[in-house]
Structure formats: structure tokens, C-alpha cells
Structure 1
């Protein structure tokens, strides 16, 4: 009886603490593993705005996750990801996406030839913060560059997904700007699918069990 009870406790503990995968579409599932809020620093922080005169440095939300699926060469458009600031009713597009040691390429708006899937899934009553990114490149001897950008659609090989899933501390990462520099409430979406809601404080980092 004691052995049976111990086994049942171990099974309950395993399933109670395993990270669940949420289905995004027919090919892809996601499991959120870590969230982090980082306030802007004095140096090397991009500014956002419709012009240089009104641009501001924003905080960053990092979301780390695992993916699962047999993609078989499927093109993934991570512009479909969006982060809604529930307090301000603002919806942000991702500013960066990483897998393994690779950063998904940014394409300037004037050169982007694909459908803008961020705007396609706009939500009624929520403002799209379709920002300009003003990247400071003064250290390279170049004046500030102002542009709107999109993330390039990419193919992530199945081997990459399987390899990262086997490594405990290896994740995919997506970064969003946010105006909130203190405590904020957010919801992550893929297309119009609600993926994960959370609250995070200033410069807080937490793992998702």
C-alpha cells in the first residue's frame, strides 16, 4: 500500500509540475517557460516613436519558450505574435526573435513583401503600437537610423526543435517593447489565439511551472 501511494504521489507531482504545450495551429505548439521585464538603461537602448523628437526609450518583455511540432519545411511568421498591455490597451509587435544562436532577420517596411500578419489580427478596442524603431548606431560612427520593420518569415528545421527541447536551458526567445516601467499585466497572442496571460513587476524575472 505504501509503495502504491508513493507511486501515485510521484505521478501527481510529475503531471502537476510539467509545462503544458498549447496548440497554436495544425503544425505548431508552444510552452512558455520564462518571463522577464527589463527597464531601459542609459546606453544602448533603442527608442520608439513616430519621430526623433517624440521618441522614448521603452522597457522590454522577454518571453522564453519551447516549441513542438513536425514542421516539415513550414514557413513560420513570427509577426503573428503580439503582446497586449492590458492596462494601457496597447498591442505590441515583436521587436526580436531568437532560436538557438540565430536572430530572425529584421526587414525594413519598404522592403517587406509579405502580408503584415500583425495588423491582420488587430483586436477591436485595442490600439496597435506600430512603432518606429530608432536604433542608435553612434558607436559605429553612423547617425541614428529611423525605420519601421517586420520580422522575416523563417523555416525552423524539425531537428532544431528536437535539439532545443532536449536541452533544459535552451529556449526560443521573443522580445517586445512596453511602455510600462513598473508593474504590468499582459497577454501573449499568436494570431487571435490567447497563449499566456501574466503579471510582471519592474525588472522581475520568473520561471513558468
Structure 2
């Protein structure tokens, strides 16, 4: 048996499980080894935020879902975040269709900043003077009137959506536009995305962006 196939260590956000996925015969082999390792301190993981660091290109979406189910149900962790290992971490975040997502249940006020290396869902308003960054999509269930950066590490497929899309500055993968200077208020939800290297804003249509 190879040593150091799974290393558990602490970080500022909580705990990090570094997995050498190439050291296992298949996903089930890795999952069983992770369960065995975590079971030695099961009570310690309750309510923790666990980051899984591995080479995500070798993991299928259904495997990630299964792994999350085990972590939530068996070890009662608070949140699970997946990130690429050292040799992969500088690549663009690709999980804009199904990837790590953070929910923020509050209004982001002027002077406040929120950053997340995945998709970001804000249930509340983003006030003028507030700034939000996400490596993936940004969805706001409220008024988006601040400065917003989606696809912040370069993913041009990222979108920005809001019930009231009224940003001061909007940025998708480095393409930047200023918001309208008048008092126009949309009457319906809108989605901003890149089209031919410019930002296009369209009315939200159910199922179109899924």
C-alpha cells in the first residue's frame, strides 16, 4: 500500500483532504480509503468545512455527488469544496454548469467585498459600492447595483444573472462594461454573458441557461 495517498491537514477555512487519486485503482477504492481515514476522528469533522484537493479531471460528476453525500450524511460536515491539486490549480475554473457553489444569505453593502473560487449565489441585494468576484457564475436574487466580476480567472462561459441587473461595472472574464448611468430599472430578470467578445444582456428565459 502506498503511503500518503490521502493527507488531512488544517487550513484557515477548515480542513483540507489532499488526495493522490492516481494512487487508487478506481473511485470506490479511493472513497473507501477516505472513509476509513476520516472515521478515525469522526466527531472532529462534524460542522467543519472540508476542502478536497485532487486532480478533478479524473473525477466524474456522479462521483463528486456521491462523495459529497457520504461526507454530509456520514461525517456531518458543514460544507465541501473541491479544488484542483497543485499542478492543476492555475487552470481556469470549469464548473460553471456543475461545480462548487457558495450561497450568501444577506445584502452586500457599500464597501463590502465577497470573493469565491466557484459559483456565487447571493440571496439579497448588492448595493452600489459593493464588489463581488466569482471564478464561475454570479446569481443575485435581488438588485445587483454594485461592481461584479464573473469568470474572474478567465472562464468566458460564466454568466451574471439578477432579478434587477443594474451594475455599476460588470466584468466577465476580463471583458468590462459600465452600467447605465440613468435610473432605468429592469422590469424582469436579466442574464449577462459574453457574445463575440462583448457583454450581451438578455431577458432571462427558463431552461435557456441550464
Structure with the larger RCO, 1 or 2 (CA within 8 Å, 6+ apart): 1
TM over 0.5: no
TM-score by length of 2: 0.24
TM-score by length of 1: 0.25
